[in-house]
Structure 1
Amino acid sequence: MELKKSPKADLENKRSYFLEIGIIVALAACIAMFSWSQKERVIEVVEQAPVVVETEMMEVTIQEDKRPPAPMKTQAVAISEILNVVKNDAKIEPTVNILDLDVTQDLAVDVTKFGGTYTGEEEAEDDTPVVVAETMPTFMGGTVDDFAKWCGKHIVYPPAAQDNGSQGRVMVQFVVERDGSISHVTVLRGVDRLLNDEAVRVIKSAPKWTPGSNRGKPVRVYVNVPINFVLSD
């Protein structure tokens, strides 16, 4: 007898149906997984209020040291260490008192012991020239301006300076010695070499001055004189 299968009992007929259901379930599961991972996570930050810690300041008191001071150490000194005790029969030499000296006697002093010898002469006067003296030096009874005018009359204008058109004021300083002569002629501010040399020449050729003095004694005095060189038209 031949066995026959019922078409309803054949499972191959529903194979495609079950395959579609499995694919649908797999897709739904994948979609659910992706959707769950892409959800936004919101983190809520809770701000905490600052914590204030109150500290109480305690007053610190320092107690005064009322202990008595330490006793000072004293050293006993024997009277024998201060006084020179001698026997009764010892001879004591009298101490020389300055009031007992005879001041009428000549006292010889060896000055070589003090590193020098005494010549009996007065100390040498200071030879440094001064700027201002009690009595300033004068020229022929006149002042420095009179001397500048005298120099202007005796100046010989250098021909080369005339050709170059050189002119101006030359400030010259010199020293009036104790005998009235002139020394140490120096140009403080010049124009050019030709005019400077002529100013020095004229001053050196001047006659003697009346010297300056301090307390009635002649002294060396600095004098500044401006000499003008002017070309006439």
Structure 2
Amino acid sequence: MEIKKNPKSNLENYSKLFMQIGLVLALFITYVAIEKKTFDRQFGDFGDVVMNADLEEEIPITERIEPEIPKTPPPPAPEKIEVVEDEKEVEETVIETTETDETEAVEVEEIEEVEEEEEVVEDVPFTVIEDVPVFPGCKGNKAQLKACFNKKMKKHFQKKFDSDLPNELGLAPGKKRITMLFRIDEEGNVVDIRALAPHPRLKKEAIRIIKSLPKMTPGKQRGRPVGVRYTLPMGIMIE
């Protein structure tokens, strides 16, 4: 069975009416709110207030009292004033001059001549000598003369040394070191010979070899002949 709806009960037919009624109510409420009158509140009258008014304060007037400074009495006057006569003679002091006249003779003290002592130059090591001693047969500049001297010394030792002596001494096999120290004096002679060796006979043999060196041209320091110290280390092999 189908239910029929009464067309008068459909609210959609009155929707325009309801909207118009709502707009009228909204306009009425707005009008009433605008036309409503309000009144300002009134407070008691306190009179005119001046914010920048300065407070007047009575300040007492004070007077500064300066302390009294005691006055110093003036110095007493001299009891008696001495009067000096202008006619009194004053003795003058005469200063003798130290200048001499051309006519006067001047005494001159004798000047003693002092002989300058000769500068004593000590022995100079071979490594720093200006002009090394010259071994006979060496030529060239300073460096070449120095290299030639060392070469000649080693060659002289190897030539003069008794090679059979180390084996006769019964020393342990191995390399042994012999050091010879001597001095070449201002005349080129070899003097002050010493030696260090592992056996007395090796030491004696080293001294003998150095004594057999020829006379040399002495070394020079600052252009003057000087003594030169030289050290010759040599190694020997014992089998």
State the TM-score, normalizing by the size of structure 2: 0.47
State the TM-score, normalizing by the size of structure 1: 0.48
Larger Cα-atom Rg = 2
